[in-house]
Structure 1
């Protein structure tokens, strides 16, 4: 490793600062930071694709169905607290990613940032953890889709056919390439935005007595059966038991928010990545506030948490467990539940599609830098990392487990496995940002000159890091009341796996943690002139409207 530039002890503080601003680190070849010559992906995602992916790309069953489970487990206030806390963690992670990606919009995304600015072994563990977390989320969404199909067809003998159909379609969209992925997600995101907006409005109308039954619910269910459910763990103290019920919903809320970092992963395949990623990250705050927080508030107003039809950990397994479908049926609305179910079905497909895309690109990024077998880095002439996509697609077929084991059992297992992996990702992203922040400042770079800059940093990253740590450690606490080996493994197996990956790579490669003045903020990172084209002002009315929306 070599460092260009130096500071002279004879210089004053101002002169030292000026010289340091021109100082940067150039890595040696063994770190594989510059992979531009072998990186075969193309920038084909347009601005409208990126903006819609950022707003609604990974909204799926975690929100539309999972919110009902959170309501059943924590009550309306408990679900709201869980979603608000996890939403703040997710936003802190995306804000951290926004700054790092606006500086380095390159393949590999945050696992490479971790390897570049924290420790190569830490990046290795981050990458493989994220690949597994998102790859396993694909069968989660496919499993959820088969649950949704039972709203119309409850013949269990048809389940295998539906599962195969969804697996094939998800794989095909990704095999067709990033342009088809972008167009499909643009279309699906519009449907999801219309759906969640419509559900919130319809829920408010029904709550205020505007439905066919003219029953004004208001905050009735916050009083009876109550604002917070009981966990059923501490029978002697109702306050403690309710607090534990809220904690128990944090993992479910995590699955609803999982995948928000997709927009940063797509940076290497995005036109004008710095400008588009910055705009996308700024809009995510409103996505969290409107679609998740407002949505969970409305959910708690229209259905009581003890409703037997809500999504539970046992029994049933139909789309009628969605709180919105429940209230529409009971309010006497006959057609809308079918429309809602169809839209949620498309949302499940879209989320699975997005998870397959993000996990395959992380695998590709690992292969580029020697942290995965090199054949995963092979691209077609059209810029598709075909081997990475096909290999990751194989995990989608795990959805067939629901045919034999029962859809809900598999769904809940995969939700927990992927959610804890998601919290580990957020924990690692915020830790990486804290290293980035320290090194960036030490080497004299100015964060305010980045395309995306958050004035809440580094406090926001510290918040996300702290709460991610707490949730990772306590996520499986109910198992200690009624110990079950399989539940314990599902809750905590990701932790030893992550640290095993970290330690093994450190021992084999003899890596070390980067010091602030050793971090490389230059090698292999394209300049603004190389990635950004001058913005073209719209000239038509529709173009101006699109510019505001996208």
Structure 2
């Protein structure tokens, strides 16, 4: 049985927001601030935001026309070749499989703010079971859960931005105005260890790019969800069209207020601080002397963590299901229940959540750092693949003389693959130099080198190995199919209240 199309317009809108809002922004931006400084983190998130937007509009153009199960995994087989589909599928699966235990570890750290008497293994188990339960109930339940949890995320980030601006302006009784004090001392950039001068400041900024990538990866969940969405020809473009607003409002403005309220040399920013205070938002509130708010914020952060874990299990299971549907994984992973739930894929991916138990020891931050680096590299390679697919997709449109006006969604920046070409160049540079630090004199670190460059080295190996084994050929431009959306059943649009229409206009 096929996957059920249980996701409604409002679900997809909120999922598209939830995909880019999680502990990557709320918790781990602290480490990025510590490495790059306030201006460094702002530049890093702005650059990665532009890459994210380029990838999203390119992906949105393809997936709205061809809303296939598996998203880009299936698009790769249709517009490039089976080898790229195989490679992207397995890399995407491992990316989200790794992110799941990372998120569960973060949730356990957040709970520690209130209760340290209970072993973290208990909290990890509770939230893992909750994520599995929600996913096993089907896409409609998943969508409804994400809809309400994403509301919490939006109110949380907007509230935190307002609070940080008030703190910076001196609006908290007893706390002095900060302004841009921390841009002067300790300074706008942080020197990379062992490197002085302008080069050291540049390398400090560069080190934050992969952390920014970790925060943004997940935006493409809309493409995976398209295979289970009602009216994908209308609802996918609707979710894609305003993505730049979310990038500007939530991420770039978010890291800006972090940089003006928390000094980059604050020791609480380290991932191994052991408590939720590693969140720069919470640090700013605590430093300002606001007593109750940190607890409220961390409660909302817990909801954010559950939402992210929920989405990560959803995404990894759909990637595994998509691999099975395309013949790149055992067929058992393609099985669905009577309600269209890929239960075998869900349970298989959930089993990897046990990796979160590695974080029970004091080295939780270090373990997370390695997992996040592995996942970020995999996610960026997936984005790189999306760009390659779109470059061929766009050329196929031109050679077959398919009018762009006939596409459900298009963007002026995607003409002749411009956005995809921009993103593929930047992603290549970022991936190649992401682990520069290990090559500095006296700074060699084997685990960092492996987690940074192993995925990059394996990508061409997996692609080439599959190519040699199957001898599959690249899809000729004249054989590309662009009318898959015509086979998707359009369903009646759900009615919207005045408040829902206003909310859609904002987000």
Using the size of structure 2 for normalisation, the TM-score is 0.96
| Larger proportion of helix | 2
Deviation per residue, 1:349-408 (Å, 9 max, x gap): 111110110111111111112111011111100000111111111111110111246211
| 1:312-391 matches, cutoff 5 A | 312=271, 315-391=272-348
- Find the counterpart in structure 1 of residue 30 from structure 2: 68
**Pairing partner for 2:216 from 247, 253, 257:** 257
- Find the counterpart in structure 2 of residue 239 from structure 1: 198
8 Å Cα contact 1:107/1:267 also seen in 2: yes
Change (3 A) 1:108 1:133: same
Deviation at 1:233, TM superposition (A): 3.0
2:406 equivalent to 1:445: no
Q: Hey, what's the Cα distance between the residues in 2 that align with 1:104 and 1:489?
A: 36
SS at match of 2:172: coil
Change (3 A) 1:234 1:548: closer
Change (3 A) 1:545 1:227: closer
8 Å Cα contact 2:68/2:75 also seen in 1: no
Q: How many residues are matched?
A: 503
| 1:95-174 matches, cutoff 5 A | 95-155=57-117, 158-174=119-135
**Pairing partner for 2:450 from 466, 472, 489:** 489
- Find the counterpart in structure 2 of residue 83 from structure 1: 45
Change (3 A) 1:127 1:543: closer
**Pairing partner for 2:179 from 205, 218, 224:** 218
2:6 equivalent to 1:49: no
RMSD of Structure 2 on Structure 1 (CA): 1.6
- Find the counterpart in structure 1 of residue 140 from structure 2: 179
8 Å Cα contact 2:175/2:289 also seen in 1: no
Gaps of 5+ in 2: none
Q: Hey, what's the Cα distance between the residues in 2 that align with 1:72 and 1:542?
A: 40
Change (3 A) 1:251 1:162: same
8 Å Cα contact 1:311/1:322 also seen in 2: no
- Find the counterpart in structure 2 of residue 227 from structure 1: 188
2:433 equivalent to 1:471: no
Gaps of 5+ in 1: 1-38
8 Å Cα contact 1:65/1:311 also seen in 2: no
Higher Cα Rg, which structure? 1
Deviation per residue, 1:23-75 (Å, 9 max, x gap): xxxxxxxxxxxxxxxx5111110111000111223411110111111111100
Change (3 A) 1:375 1:291: same
**Pairing partner for 1:296 from 255, 269, 282:** 255
Q: Hey, what's the Cα distance between the residues in 2 that align with 1:120 and 1:283?
A: 32
- Find the counterpart in structure 1 of residue 268 from structure 2: 309
- Find the counterpart in structure 2 of residue 285 from structure 1: 244
Q: Hey, what's the Cα distance between the residues in 1 that align with 2:325 and 2:362?
A: 38
Q: Hey, what's the Cα distance between the residues in 2 that align with 1:404 and 1:66?
A: 19
Deviation at 1:417, TM superposition (A): 0.6
Which moved further from structure 2: 447-456 or 195-204? 447-456
Change (3 A) 1:542 1:518: closer
- Find the counterpart in structure 2 of residue 401 from structure 1: 358
Using the size of structure 1 for normalisation, the TM-score is 0.89
Which moved further from structure 2: 391-400 or 401-410? 401-410
8 Å Cα contact 1:303/1:327 also seen in 2: yes
Q: Hey, what's the Cα distance between the residues in 2 that align with 1:498 and 1:427?
A: 11
- Find the counterpart in structure 1 of residue 463 from structure 2: 502
- Find the counterpart in structure 2 of residue 460 from structure 1: 419
